Amino acid sequence: MRFLVAVVIVAVLAAEPEKPQKSAEELYAALKGPWRAGDEKSPLQGVWLHRNEKAPVPPPGTSPWGVIVDFTRGSPEGYRGEPEKVQADGDGLKITLPPAGKEEKRGTRVLRISRDGDKLEVRVTGGCCEGTYTLKRVASKQ
């Protein structure tokens, strides 16, 4: 009997087509650009994920990715620069920041960003501002 149940479970799992995982570049289209907090009291004020579209072409061997993480004024958690790693994580991106330098007091290490309708959900791991935040897209200046 157990064998029959196991066979049925395997058959059901095999019959469900697995969605192909999107690449980080494919997910980037929905997540790029500047995002700001809707609440001015939020510790996370904004996130901007970019691939240097409006900057000079980066030298060969450097990452095309750039990220700006803006916390409340005076917080040591902010970051501007290249992430250590950007990878697809389900329907969002997992962005690993490099370790803080000797002069930095930043504890934030990982951001997990994903879309929730017209909003961006950002989960911050590490540091004094650890938590989940909801941001809205900044209006374009076109």
User: How much is the pLDDT for 104?
Assistant: 81
Could you say which residues of the chain have pLDDT below 50? none
Which pLDDT score, from 0 to 100, does residue 20 have?
Answer: 72
Q: For residue 33, what pLDDT is reported?
A: 86
The predicted pLDDT at position 17 comes to: 60
Note the pLDDT of residue 8: 56
- Strand-pairing partners, residue 92, are 89, 114
For residue 113, the model assigns a pLDDT of 96
Can you give the pLDDT at residue 6? 58
Domains identified in the chain and CATH numbers: 22-137 (2.40.128)
State residue 15's pLDDT score. 56
Predicted pLDDT of residue 9: 63
CA distance linking residue 94 with residue 117, whole number of Å: 19
Beta carbons within 8 Å of 107's beta carbon, 6+ residues apart: 77, 100, 126, 127, 128
Q: State the pLDDT at residue 85.
A: 93
Output the pTM of the full model. 0.79
